[in-house]
Amino acid sequence: MNSGRHRQLAALGFIGGAACGALAWSHLQRQYRRDLFSTHPLRRFAALSYLRSRPSVETVRLLREYVAWEPKALLRQRGVTLMRLVESRLS
């Protein structure tokens, strides 16, 4: 194989890997969003923990919706705390 062919294959591999990574990231985001509104409190807790490390305007919006929806006071308070933490990281 010549050097040009190696570069083409390397570029193709890089682009394919980036596309697969973007797809996996998108799937994880959807999964954790669903779990945030799960009927299982432990899944909601795990989703909150995941969102804590993802500060963004979208995360704040999602946490606001969650706090308004959450029926359990303990998890609702955790949501409020995390929302304030994310807001402070963004400002």
Dmax over CA atoms of the chain, in Å, equals 65
Domain assignment of residue 73, yes or no? yes
Residue 28 has pLDDT above 80, yes or no: no
Domain assignment of residue 8, yes or no? no
47-87 residue pLDDT tens: 998 888 888 999 999 999 999 999 999 999 999 999 999 99
Domain assignment of residue 78, yes or no? yes
Domain assignment of residue 23, yes or no? no
Residue 27 has pLDDT above 90, yes or no: no
6-22 residue pLDDT tens: 888 888 888 988 888 87
Domain assignment of residue 38, yes or no? yes
Domain assignment of residue 49, yes or no? yes
Determine the 3-state secondary structure of 15 from DSSP. Answer: helix
pTM over 0.75: no
Q: Are 35 and 44 in contact (CB under 8 A)?
A: yes
Residue 71 belongs to domain spanning: 28-90
Domain count, the chain: 1
Domain assignment of residue 86, yes or no? yes
What whole-number distance in Å separates Cα of residue 64 and Cα of residue 58? Answer: 10
In sequence order, what are the residues at sequence separation of 6 or more whose Cβ sits closer than 8 angstroms to the Cβ of residue 4? none
Domain assignment of residue 77, yes or no? yes
What whole-number distance in Å separates Cα of residue 16 and Cα of residue 69? Answer: 39
